[in-house]
Structure 1
Amino acid sequence: MTAVTTRHGGGGFPGAVAAEWTKTWTVRSTWWSLFGAAALMGLGALQFSIFATNANTNDDPADDRGMVAVGSVAVQAVDVVQFAIIGLAMLLITAEYSGGAIRTTLQQVPRRGVMLLSKTVVAAVVGGAAGLLLAALGSAVAAPLLGRWADLDAAGWIGDVLAAGCYLALISVVALGAGTVLRSAAGTLIVIFLVVVLLPALLQASDIAAVERIAHYLPGTAGAAFMRGESEEYPPLAGLVVVAAWAAAAVAAGYATLRRRDA
């Protein structure tokens, strides 16, 4: 990574992005995370497709799902797949803190805002591109398993794939921001799990309307509303805005932490 130097900034922001991009693809954790995400997507699409087919063919008409959009199967699997992508994104910063490489990074890119923004761009691009490919993979697994129950509408499929890509890009940025604040892979993963999965479930189980409403504005719930359009609280695009707000807040918190603390 000779594109970045302390004196000249290595081409400024483009050079910092290029350096982060190179680092991302030259560590094994990236490839293992993507492999894990692909495996989870394949297994998730397999499971959801079998469930849908069994529901349509059993003796209970109340279970019938009818035609199932192949892209919606992939979107369902994102609930689990996202944690492999979250792990990849947070390691862009937490791995450097755990190994001490953050000092070298800041020597090469002394402007901390530029450093964090370059990592944010890489996390969003990798997460978003992975989301598109994973959704396509899940759809390819689902289509033959659903058989005659498969809805292959092209416009709907493209919408589902793009929704998965957008959500995984934003949740990757949330993970990067949280990792910048916490500096610990384990701590970051625990906090993300609590905010994305556990806290919404607890709030929604409270049977208190005001408390349940809070759950709609957490990133996991808002992301599901965006991808599936299931929320009665707001339209799907509002869910995307909520997740984007969480991503912006996470990066802002990360930047504030970087400015306040030593590497």
Structure 2
Amino acid sequence: MSVSSSRKITQILGAELGKLVTLPLIWLALMWTFILNLVLAAAFTSVGLQGAAGTQSVLNIGLASMGYLQAGFIILGILATCSEYTGGQIRTTLTTIPWRGFQLSTKHLALAIITIPAAFIIATSGVLYTFFMMRDTAVVNEIDTMIQTLVGATGYLTLTTLLSAAIGALLRRTTPALVVLLGYYFIVSPLTRVFLPSIKNYLNYFPDTAGYYMYMPPSSDEINVLTPMQGTGFSMLWTLIFITVAIVFYRKRDA
């Protein structure tokens, strides 16, 4: 029984991976995200080269594009779950794999398998570009700090992708999901910090701000901020909540 179950899990995971890797939009999203990151890294590095030598960190400049980079991974997560609804392929999927909760969970696992190496490569590319361009003028962080920060950045981008996939599964349409998530990350959250400073500390526990502390250590003049581990914990909690809600609705709704 256990051998049969393990084989079934492997087959379903392989099927979900196969669907993702053969979806051209997935690779287009990753390719353009990689290109955008290099362009932004070049721009931030150029600005950094014009600043005061020795006062800037390679990591801070190399990861300055993260605020924009997350858009590509939001799109990636939405495409992963919404693409099957576009042409009605979801009916075939549910006919082949009737265990809805298990199928959606496996899809998120397959998405994580693809996202983790892609996020690490993309995040690292920006830091490496900055390092090679500014190694003589900027503060070069210790290797342990660089690895820890890049792992945190990879984790944040992966959790953002999985959360976006869960929102995509809830809304089942690409455009509404994009509007909701991009609107929150790039409009609602930044404007709330500016115009409602009284609740700024509470925003530290929301997925975008908590995720920030996964890879960028807080400044000494900040108060009520999270440690990298706390940021990771809150980001994971938000992601698991949305995945759980998505699975509940996925099991109860028609295809």
TM-score normalised by length of structure 1: 0.87
CA distance in 1: counterparts of 2:191 and 2:141, whole angstroms = 36
Aligned to 2:18: 22
Q: Deviations over 1:159-196 (max 9, x none)?
A: 12111111111111101100000011111111111332
Structure 2 residue 204 is the aligned partner of structure 1 residue 212? no
CA distance in 2: counterparts of 1:40 and 1:160, whole angstroms = 20
Aligned to 1:74: 62
Stretch deviating more after TM superposition (130-139 or 173-182): 130-139
Aligned to 1:236: 228
Structure 2 residue 117 is the aligned partner of structure 1 residue 129? yes
Aligned to 1:5: none
Aligned to 2:7: 11
Stretch deviating more after TM superposition (237-246 or 211-220): 211-220
Counting matched residue pairs gives 247
Amino acid at match of 1:228: M
Aligned to 1:257: 249
CA distance in 2: counterparts of 1:78 and 1:256, whole angstroms = 32
Give identity over the alignment, percent.
Answer: 22
Amino acid at match of 1:215: L
| SS of structure 1 residue aligned to 2:63 | helix
Given that residues 125 and 169 in structure 1 are in contact (C-alpha distance below 8 angstroms), is that contact kept between their aligned partners in structure 2?
A: no
| SS of structure 1 residue aligned to 2:195 | coil
| SS of structure 2 residue aligned to 1:205 | helix
- Deviation, structure 1 residue 83: 1.3
| SS of structure 2 residue aligned to 1:190 | helix
CA distance in 2: counterparts of 1:158 and 1:251, whole angstroms = 28
**Structure-to-structure mapping, 1:192-203, within 5 angstroms:** 192-203=181-192
- Deviation, structure 1 residue 147: 3.7
Given that residues 173 and 250 in structure 1 are in contact (C-alpha distance below 8 angstroms), is that contact kept between their aligned partners in structure 2?
A: no
Amino acid at match of 2:211: G
- Deviation, structure 1 residue 207: 4.2
Structure 1 alignment gaps of length 5 or more: 1-7, 58-64
TM-score normalised by length of structure 2: 0.90
Aligned to 1:162: 151
CA distance in 1: counterparts of 2:92 and 2:37, whole angstroms = 36
CA distance in 1: counterparts of 2:62 and 2:86, whole angstroms = 34
Given that residues 78 and 164 in structure 2 are in contact (C-alpha distance below 8 angstroms), is that contact kept between their aligned partners in structure 1?
A: yes
Structure 2 residue 50 is the aligned partner of structure 1 residue 54? yes
Given that residues 222 and 240 in structure 1 are in contact (C-alpha distance below 8 angstroms), is that contact kept between their aligned partners in structure 2?
A: yes
1:160/1:170 Cα in 2 relative to 1: closer, same or farther (>3 Å)? Answer: same
What stretches of structure 1 move > 4 A for 4+ residues in a row? none
Amino acid at match of 1:206: F
Stretch deviating more after TM superposition (103-112 or 83-92): 83-92
**Structure-to-structure mapping, 1:106-117, within 5 angstroms:** 106-117=94-105
In angstroms, what is the RMSD of aligned CA positions? 1.9
Given that residues 193 and 200 in structure 2 are in contact (C-alpha distance below 8 angstroms), is that contact kept between their aligned partners in structure 1?
A: yes
